[in-house]
Amino acid sequence: MRFQILTCDSPAPMNTVYLSLGSNVGDREANLVRAIDELASRGARILRQSSFYETEPLEIRDQAWFLNCAVEAEAELDPQQLLETLLEIEIEMGRYQSIKYGPRNIDIDILLFGASVVDTPDLVIPHPRMAERRFVLVPMNEIAPDARHPVLKKTIGELLKATADKSAVRLWSGRSK
């Protein structure tokens, strides 16, 4: 049996992804801006970006407050390739995390990858705790209130209204002038 190699000149399909970014070490605002720039420089087309929000830490409360945002982007990557790209950005930005849920200069999580559901040892999409976290839902609601969670079958707006999380999430006004 002979195999024929077919070539295709059409571009790879673009996947719509939603990401959560956070920082609570160093210049938090600059860290988020740099991470978003890094995404764009690696082929992600940024469609929408939320405002920045200052959020209180949840699991380990004795640490600095976070600055968080959400991004909607298109990328020609599969979920594993996207995860690898995000990890590269975090490493290049000098991310360190000595304690789980502890301080970090940058954290980038995949929230949604189109309507895909992924469950591997390395990656779970949709993000397994996004429905429980106001620091994720508030920025997501700003840019995509009608985006639907493919497992819970609810929109981001519905998840925000239903979450039991009452932690503080404040609109960030930016650097002091």
> What is the set of active-site residues?
95, 104, 107, 109
What whole-number distance in Å separates Cα of residue 142 and Cα of residue 145?
A: 6
What whole-number distance in Å separates Cα of residue 101 and Cα of residue 22?
A: 11
Contacts of 141 (CB under 8 A, 6+ apart): 156, 157, 160
The shares of helix, strand and coil residues in the chain, as percent rounded to the nearest 5, are 25, 25, 50
Beta bridge partners, 109, equal 20
Contact present, 36 and 143 (Cβ < 8 Å): no
Strand pairing of 169-171 and 53-55? antiparallel
